[in-house]
A and B are shown apart, each in its own frame.
Chain A
């Protein structure tokens, strides 16, 4: 059974960089799905897709966040990471990592999720 676990600071100061890591267990990050994602949920905006990364390293980001987001992957450590720069209070949210569900080569949502981690942006 694949499990995902987010880790990182729960409090980030405005204008600084938010950094989170997702550790995948119960299987290799390179097997099963080829894509892994970050999603966040805030009270005001609901669920918002941040971006995804392929095990080969290619990325795709939400256009609204693209200038500030970087997602990377370390297959040797079974981890992928999120960096969000120049954060403001609007970036306060629960951040989830998730596995992209692939069905016969078609991207079909997210089948495994981490438990989520609350990140608050405040001085």
Chain B
């Protein structure tokens, strides 16, 4: 169902940097639509982490950063902390689906 592909899992030691990729196509990310990222802790609703490809809402630590290039986007977490262990989802829009919102497959971040 998901039109945006993410790696199932990434891991890193505390203090390290990890990146999560989000691969789309010419009808979504590549068509100029913005990309958002969400963090989801177990049993809790997703939380907006990055909007408009690279902007952080108020209160989100600057350890989180987003970027977009071509048909892909990335989320980087620097200075990994235990509290960052969660599921992360990218989200964009797709012109082949009448500009419907679409989500990525999700990535589990594990802090070793």
- Show the binding face of A for B, using Cβ within 8 Å: 37, 39, 45-49, 52, 60, 62-64, 96, 101, 103, 106-111, 113-116
Contact = CB atoms under 8 A, between A and B. Distances in A.
A45 B34 CA distance: 22
Nearest to B50: A109
Interface string B66-88: 00000000000000000000000
Interface string B47-61: 110011001010000
Interface of B: 1-2, 34, 36, 38, 44-48, 51-52, 55, 57, 89, 91, 93, 97-106
Given A46-B1, A47-B106, 12 more contacts: A39-B101, A46-B103, A46-B105, A47-B103, A49-B103, A60-B99, A101-B48, A108-B51, A110-B46, A110-B91, A114-B45, A115-B45
B89 A46 contact: yes
Contacts, number: 69
A53 B12 CA distance: 40
A87 to B, nearest CB: 17
Nearest to B52: A108
B103 A63 contact: no
B100 A60 contact: yes
Interface of A is mostly: strand
7 contacts: A46-B2, A47-B91, A47-B106, A48-B103, A64-B1, A109-B48, A109-B101
Contact of B101 (A49, A64, A111, A114): A49
A101 B106 CA distance: 21
Nearest to B57: A111
B100 A62 contact: yes
Nearest to A49: B101
Nearest to B47: A113
A45 B97 contact: no
A91 B104 CA distance: 19
User: Which one of A37, A63, A110 has the highest number of Cβ atoms from chain B below 10 Å of its Cβ?
Assistant: A110
